[in-house]
Structure 1
Amino acid sequence: MITVYHLAVSQSDRIVWMLEELGVEYKLEWFDRGEDMLAPPEYLALHPAGMAPVVKDGDKLLTESAAILEYLNHRYGGGRYSVKPEEEDYADYLYWMHFNNNVQSVFFLKMALGGDLSAQPDNMVAKTAQRREERYYAHLNDYLEGRSYLAGDRFTCADIMMMFNLTALPLFGGRSIDDLPNVKKYVEGISQRPAYQKAMAIAGPGASRPD
């Protein structure tokens, strides 16, 4: 039995989503954040890295969203949500799988600088962060022109990786996508997937600890 150690409002909702897509049975262990919005000590004790998500499969303890998604997809899904090296869209798949870390690095830098980067025109770090944020999102919006998915014409792990940044980060001061029509259309389309809707009800930002 796979165990998902789910930290409330965290990237571990990606793992629940993947398992729902695969139709794989799993157990969810829920951890609430503290009043400081940080992970509680008992969650930090799960893995040396002390970060969500954390998943246990047998004796194997896994962390890092992208690594867990690939692991589950290949071990339990025959790799159907990945792109193989010999396929045409392999480079796009790799790129968008790892794009998310760049976006999140800017998000955390933005939070550390007080949130409003434009209010600090003389701060070189703030100016750099603002420029990167705008270019990342503009690039994504341009790329999604006429596309429904990130890697070719089918749903992949890259789409699972992307959605958290576009739907959850804005709830905590991240950049809104309201002025990005192609991104909005993409999010609306992916959000219609039954597995996504079920996973968000179970472990998404608006979910609560099950009874």
Structure 2
Amino acid sequence: MKLWHCSGARSLRPLWALEEMALEYEVEILPFPPRMFEREYLKVNSLGTVPYFVDGDTEMTESTGICQYLVDRYQRYDFGLQPSHPEYGAYLNWLHHSDATLTFPQTIAMRYYFLEPTPEKQAVADDYSKWYISRLRRLDRHLESHEYLVDNRFTIADIAIGYALYLGRALKLDGQYKPQTAAYLQRLMDRPGFKRADEQGEPLSLPGAE
């Protein structure tokens, strides 16, 4: 298995999953964003995005999908749920919620705050930042009475959602997190698997984020 990764990018999800599962893998660290600073990478992944993941003949580009693949392909249900589990629907919903609902508005904000900043785009970024925070309502409510998202244990659903919260922290939006949500993120960041994944590569540096 090989994973192409940029520190702090969505590729942190599968890297974190690989570390938690103690699977053997190779990682190639790229500058962010790779399509701008590592043009040769386009020959590997024509999208120029990370993650890019190969496992034999399998090629994948979606961070949460790779996490689910690892659970199912390698039968690592100690980090996931099987379809027969009563919370399987909730598990899938959190996995897809992580990108479709949470990471999407963050990427727009990141692009217009840091990568293509103009006064006009700043207003758009402000709107998407507010949208992201408002979309945490369901998670905030769930964490009032749960330590983890499903089955009272850590799963890749927590990796998927946890990364979105972590990216929000990089975007300096975490000051608006509810106490239970901030505590949940810290709990995830305290895991050795997260620390091993997060320390690979130079820290994500966004222009103007200091």
Question: What band does the TM-score fall into relative to the shorter chain?
Answer: 0.7 to 0.9
Instruction: Please list every run of 5 or more consecutive structure 1 residues that lacks an aligned counterpart in the other structure.
Output: none
CA distance in 2, matches of 1:110, 1:41: 24
What stretches of structure 1 move > 6 A for 4+ residues in a row? Answer: 125-128
Alignment counterpart, residue 176 of structure 1, candidates 171, 174, 177: 174
Instruction: Please list every run of 5 or more consecutive structure 2 residues that lacks an aligned counterpart in the other structure.
Output: 206-210
8 Å CA contact 1:11, 1:164 repeated in 2:
yes
Q: Please state how far the C-alpha of 1:113 moved relative to its aligned partner.
A: 5.7
Q: Number of residues paired by the alignment? A: 198
8 Å CA contact 2:52, 2:61 repeated in 1:
yes
Q: Please state how far the C-alpha of 1:114 moved relative to its aligned partner.
A: 5.0
* C-alpha spacing 1:113/1:23, structure 2 compared with 1 (3 Å): closer
Give yes or no for the alignment of 1:79 onto 2:77: yes
8 Å CA contact 1:24, 1:76 repeated in 2:
no
Secondary structure of 1:28's counterpart equals strand
Name 2:153's counterpart in structure 1: 154
8 Å CA contact 1:141, 1:183 repeated in 2:
yes
Q: Please state how far the C-alpha of 1:127 moved relative to its aligned partner.
A: 8.7
8 Å CA contact 2:7, 2:200 repeated in 1:
no
Residue 19 of structure 1 aligns with an amino acid whose one-letter code is L
Q: Percent of pairs identical after alignment?
A: 27
Q: TM-score, normalised by structure 2?
A: 0.79
Q: Please state how far the C-alpha of 1:97 moved relative to its aligned partner.
A: 0.5
Name 1:54's counterpart in structure 2: 52
Structure with greater helix share of residues: 2
Residue 140 of structure 1 aligns with an amino acid whose one-letter code is L
8 Å CA contact 1:22, 1:76 repeated in 2:
no
Give yes or no for the alignment of 1:145 onto 2:123: no
Name 1:17's counterpart in structure 2: 16
* C-alpha spacing 1:31/1:130, structure 2 compared with 1 (3 Å): closer
